[in-house]
C-alpha cells in the first residue's frame, strides 16, 4: 500500500502528486484513519468522488502564537475549509462524567491525550480564519451537529451560543452530511450567491437581520423551506421554561418529511437550521461504502504505535443508519434521525470480501452492526411518506402519546408519571428476516469462521418478532461470549424519563436468552449497560435497582454516571429540572455526594463501596438490606 492511496496530508504530499492547487482542506480532531467508520474519511472520499481535490490536516497544533502556521503551510484551498472535531465531541473525548481529564484518547496516535483542543470546532475554525482570511469555513461532525442550537454546556455549566455563531464559520452541516457537503461544494465551486444555501437540506447558516425581520428572512429564502421560530439564545439563557420548550420544538422538527427550518435569534443574528437531509437510500449508501478507502491508519502514525480506534472496527461492517429507539439520553436520533435505512446485502458482502485477505484477519467478522444492530428498515410503512410521529416513540409509547400535563407538577418519590405502562406502537413492523439472511450470507463466505454481532441490540424490538428465528440463531451462532444490551434501569418511573420500555420486557428477554443458551449448550452472558443518577432517579430508585441486580445475579463491572452531553432531552431535563415532553418538574440528582451514592449502590459488591452503601441504606430506612443474608447489599461493618 502506497502513501498515495490516502488523501494528501501535507503540501509536499500534494506536490508529489503533481497538485499545484487543491479545492478543500479537511481539518479534523481525530488522527487520519481512512476507514468508513471515521466521518472525516467519508467526507473526504465523497468529495474526491465528485472530482474535487481534498487534503487532510489531522490534529494540527493549536497552542501558541504560531498555531495557525500548520494550516498556512498547507496552502490556501480554492473553495473552503471543512472543520470537524472528529468522531466524538471533543469535551466528551477529554473529560469523564465527573469532569476529570481522561488520560487516553483512542482516536489519537498511541492513545496520547491532548492532541486536539477542547471545543475543537471553535478553535480550529478560528485558526483557519487567521490563516486564510475570507475563505469560507464549513463546520460539521458530531460536535457541530449536536451544538447547532443554543445549548446547555455541562462543562461550563451555562447555556452557550449556537456553535455556528461561536466558531465564526459560514455554514454548518449536521447529521449525516454526504449530500449536504456535496451540494455546498457545487455551490461554492460555481460561485453561486450564498442565498442558494437556503434550499440545501441538512445545513445551517446565520444571517444579519434587524429585530422583527422575519418577513425579510422569508424574502431572502423565497422558494426554500417553511420556517418555525424557537426561543432566542437570550430567552433560553434566562428562562429554563423557554429552554425546555425550544428543545422539544427542535427535536420535533428533526424529520426529513414534515420538518421545517428552525430559526433561532442570537445577539442580532438569525440562525436558520434547514430541515434534515433525506436519509440515504440503499444504492446511495452502497456507493459511499464502495469508495476506495484503504481501511488503514495513515503510515505517518506507525512510529507512534498506530491509532487504537481502528482495532474495534478494522474487521467490522456498518450495515445501517438511523435509530427509532429514540432514548432520551442518546444523541443518535438528533444526529442521524429516527428513520432507519440500510445497505444492500451485496454491498456488505463486498466489504467483507475486501478484508478477508488482510494478513491480520483470523476468520472472525467482529460485527455487522450500526447504531442499533438489529434495525434494517423504518419501524413502520408510514414513515417514508408521512415521517416519524411527533411526540410519539416507536418502542415506548405511553397511552396516546405523551401529553402536556399541568405545568410544573412536582414529581414525588413514589409518583410514577406514566398514566399507563409503555407499549410499542401497534404499527411497528418487527421482522429480522432480512438481517438474518445477511448474517447467513456473511457466515457462508470462504475464509470466514464466525460472524459476530457486537453492536448493541434493541431487545424490546427483538421480542416483538414473534417468529423467534433470529433470536435463536443469534444465540447459537453470533455471540462472542457476551451480548451487549441496554436496560439502563429497572424502575419504571426512571425508565419513563429515559424513554425506555418497562422492565418486564427486559425480564422476558433475559429469561428467553437463558433458555436458548441452555438449548444450544452455550455459556454466554448479557452485558447490561446501566446509568446511575439519570434525571428522575432518586436514591430510593438506585436501591431498588441494586436489589434487582442482586436478586438477578447481575454484577455490573461498569456503571455510567449520567453524562449531560449536548443535544439530548435528558440533558434538557438535567439543566432545566423540567421534562420537555410534558413541562412537568423532574427530580435531578446533581450533588457529587448523591451521584456517588447512586453509583456505589449499583456496584455494592466492591469493598471500597461498602461503607457508602451502608450509610445510604440507613439514611433511606432500609436497614433490612444490611446483614449477611443473600438479599443484603452490605455487611454490618465494625
Q: pLDDT tens digit string along 516-556?
A: 999 999 999 999 999 999 999 999 999 999 999 999 999 88
**Least confident residue range of 115-129, 263-277, 417-431:** 417-431
DSSP symbols for 107-144: TSGGGBTTSS-TTHHHHHHHHHHHHSTT--EEEEHHHH
pLDDT at 408: 45
pLDDT-derived band at 67, boundaries 50, 70, 90 = confident
pLDDT at 210: 67
Q: Of residues 65 and 547, which shows the higher confidence score?
A: 547
Contact in structure between 406 and 467 (CB atoms under 8 Å) = no
Examine the pLDDT at 293 and tell me if it is beyond 60: yes
Separation between Cα atoms, residue 11 and residue 65, nearest integer Å? 22
Distances, alpha carbon 605 to alpha carbons 23, 223, 267, 634, in Å = 58, 63, 52, 8
How many Cα atoms are found within 13 Å in the side-chain-facing hemisphere of 630? 5
Give pLDDT tens digits for 134-154.
Answer: 999 999 999 999 999 999 999
What is the mean predicted confidence (pLDDT) over 76-92? 97
Of 466, 470, 507, 514, the residue nearest 487 (C-alpha): 507
Contact in structure between 486 and 499 (CB atoms under 8 Å) = no
Separation between Cα atoms, residue 277 and residue 139, nearest integer Å? 16
Contact in structure between 439 and 471 (CB atoms under 8 Å) = no
What integer best gives the mean pLDDT of the chain? 93
Separation between Cα atoms, residue 165 and residue 33, nearest integer Å? 29
**Least confident residue range of 73-87, 199-213, 309-323:** 199-213
pLDDT-derived band at 420, boundaries 50, 70, 90 = low
Please give the CATH architecture assigned to the domain spanning 315-603: Alpha-Beta Horseshoe (3.80)
- The DSSP secondary-structure symbol of 634 reads B
What is the mean predicted confidence (pLDDT) over 112-122? 97
Largest CA distance in the chain: 78
Q: What is the pTM of this model?
A: 0.94
pLDDT at 365: 97
Separation between Cα atoms, residue 247 and residue 185, nearest integer Å? 30
Contact in structure between 92 and 563 (CB atoms under 8 Å) = yes
pLDDT-derived band at 399, boundaries 50, 70, 90 = low
Examine the pLDDT at 410 and tell me if it is beyond 60: no
Separation between Cα atoms, residue 530 and residue 216, nearest integer Å? 49
Start-end of CATH 3.80.30.20 domains in the chain: 315-603
Distances, alpha carbon 21 to alpha carbons 49, 77, 132, 310, in Å = 17, 7, 15, 31
Examine the pLDDT at 557 and tell me if it is beyond 70: yes
Helices (H), 445-485: 459-464, 469-477
H/E stretch holding 91 reads: helix 90-94
Cβ neighbours around 524 below 10 Å, total = 16
pLDDT at 412: 45
Distances, alpha carbon 337 to alpha carbons 145, 159, 202, 319, 486, in Å = 12, 24, 11, 16, 20
Examine the pLDDT at 66 and tell me if it is beyond 90: no
Describe the strand order of the beta sheet including 525-532 as a list of residue ranges: 482-488, 525-532, 560-561
pLDDT at 404: 56
Which phi and psi (to 5°) does residue 151 adopt?
-145, 150
Contact in structure between 178 and 42 (CB atoms under 8 Å) = yes
What's the CA angle centered on 183, arms 177 and 189, to 5 degrees? Answer: 130
pLDDT at 153: 97
**Least confident residue range of 151-160, 227-236, 382-391, 457-466:** 382-391
Separation between Cα atoms, residue 439 and residue 478, nearest integer Å? 8
Separation between Cα atoms, residue 563 and residue 531, nearest integer Å? 9
Contacts of 138 (CB under 8 A, 6+ apart): 80, 81, 82, 83, 169, 170, 171, 172, 173, 181, 184
Give pLDDT tens digits for 180-218.
Answer: 999 999 999 998 777 778 899 999 999 987 665 666 666
pLDDT-derived band at 421, boundaries 50, 70, 90 = confident
Amino acid at each position: 500500500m502506497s502513501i498515495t492511496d490516502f488523501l494528501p496530508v501535507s503540501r509536499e504530499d500534494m506536490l508529489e502528486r503533481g497538485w499545484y492547487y487543491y479545492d478543500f482542506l479537511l481539518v479534523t480532531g481525530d488522527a487520519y484513519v481512512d476507514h468508513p467508520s471515521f466521518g472525516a474519511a467519508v467526507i473526504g472520499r465523497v468529495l474526491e468522488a465528485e472530482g474535487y481535490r481534498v487534503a487532510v490536516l489531522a490534529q494540527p497544533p493549536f497552542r501558541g502564537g504560531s498555531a495557525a502556521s500548520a494550516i498556512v503551510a498547507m496552502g490556501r484551498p480554492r473553495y473552503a475549509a471543512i472543520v470537524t472535531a472528529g468522531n466524538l465531541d471533543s469535551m466528551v473525548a477529554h473529560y469523564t462524567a465527573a469532569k476529570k481529564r481522561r488520560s487516553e484518547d483512542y482516536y489519537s496516535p498511541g492513545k496520547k491525550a491532548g492532541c486536539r483542543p477542547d471545543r475543537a470546532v471553535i478553535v480550529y475554525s478560528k485558526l483557519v480564519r487567521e490563516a486564510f482570511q475570507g475563505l469560507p469555513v464549513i463546520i460539521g461532525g458530531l460536535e457541530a451537529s449536536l451544538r447547532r442550537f443554543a445549548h446547555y454546556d455541562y462543562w461550563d455549566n451555562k447555556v452557550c451560543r449556537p456553535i455556528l455563531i461561536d466558531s465564526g464559520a459560514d455554514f454548518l452541516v449536521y447529521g449525516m452530511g454526504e449530500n449536504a457537503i456535496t451540494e455546498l461544494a457545487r455551490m461554492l465551486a460555481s460561485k453561486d450567491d450564498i442565498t442558494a444555501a437556503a434550499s440545501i437540506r441538512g445545513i445551517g447558516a446565520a444571517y444579519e437581520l434587524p429585530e422583527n425581520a422575519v418577513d425579510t428572512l422569508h424574502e431572502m429564502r423565497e422558494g426554500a423551506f417553511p420556517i418555525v421560530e424557537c426561543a432566542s439564545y437570550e430567552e433560553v439563557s434566562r428562562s429554563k421554561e423557554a429552554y425546555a420548550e425550544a428543545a422539544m420544538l427542535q427535536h420535533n422538527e428533526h424529520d426529513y418529511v414534515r420538518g421545517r427550518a428552525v430559526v433561532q435569534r442570537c445577539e442580532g443574528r438569525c440562525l436558520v437550521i434547514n430541515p434534515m437531509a433525506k436519509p440515504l437510500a440503499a444504492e446511495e449508501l452502497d456507493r459511499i461504502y464502495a469508495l476506495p478507502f484503504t481501511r488503514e491508519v495513515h503510515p505517518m502514525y506507525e512510529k507512534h504505535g498506530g491509532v487504537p480506534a481502528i482495532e474495534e472496527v478494522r474487521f467490522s461492517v456498518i450495515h445501517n443508519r438511523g435509530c427509532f429507539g429514540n432514548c432520551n439520553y442518546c444523541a443518535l436520533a438528533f444526529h442521524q434521525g429516527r428513520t432507519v435505512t440500510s445497505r444492500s446485502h451485496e454491498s456488505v458482502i463486498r466489504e467483507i470480501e475486501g478484508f478477508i485477505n488482510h494478513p491480520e484477519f483470523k476468520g472472525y467478522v467482529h460485527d455487522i452492526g450500526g447504531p442499533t444492530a438489529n434495525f434494517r428498515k423504518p419501524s413502520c410503512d408510514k414513515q417514508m411518506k408521512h415521517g416519524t410521529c411527533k411526540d410519539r416513540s416507536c418502542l415506548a409509547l405511553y397511552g396516546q402519546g405523551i401529553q402536556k400535563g399541568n405545568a410544573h407538577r412536582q414529581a414525588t418519590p413514589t409518583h410514577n408519571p406514566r398514566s399507563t405502562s409503555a407499549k410499542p406502537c401497534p404499527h411497528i413492523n418487527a421482522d429480522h428476516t432480512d438481517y438474518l439472511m445477511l448474517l447467513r450470507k456473511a457466515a457462508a463466505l470462504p475464509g470466514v469462521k464466525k460472524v459476530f454481532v457486537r453492536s448493541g441490540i434493541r431487545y424490546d424490538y427483538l421480542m416483538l418478532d414473534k417468529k423467534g428465528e433470529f433470536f435463536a440463531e443469534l444465540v447459537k451462532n453470533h455471540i462472542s461470549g457476551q451480548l451487549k444490551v441496554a436496560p439502563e434501569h429497572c424502575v419504571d418511573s426512571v425508565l419513563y424519563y429515559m424513554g425506555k420500555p418497562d422492565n418486564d420486557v427486559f425480564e422476558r428477554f433475559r429469561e428467553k436468552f437463558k433458555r436458548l443458551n441452555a438449548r444450544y449448550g452455550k455459556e454466554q452472558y448479557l452485558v447490561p449497560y446501566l446509568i446511575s443518577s439519570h434525571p428522575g432517579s432518586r436514591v430510593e430508585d438506585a436501591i431498588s435497582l441494586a436489589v434487582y441486580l442482586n436478586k438477578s445475579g447481575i454484577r455490573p463491572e461498569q456503571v455510567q454516571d449520567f453524562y449531560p452531553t449536548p443535544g439530548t432531552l435528558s440533558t434538557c431535563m438535567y439543566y432545566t429540572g423540567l421534562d420537555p415532553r410534558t413541562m412537568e418538574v423532574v427530580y435531578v440528582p446533581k450533588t457529587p455526594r448523591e451521584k456517588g451514592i447512586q453509583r456505589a449502590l449499583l456496584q455494592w459488591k466492591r469493598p471500597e463501596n461498602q461503607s457508602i452503601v451502608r450509610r445510604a441504606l440507613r439514611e433511606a430506612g432500609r436497614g433490612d438490606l444490611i446483614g449477611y443474608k443473600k438479599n443484603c447489599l452490605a455487611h454490618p461493618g465494625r
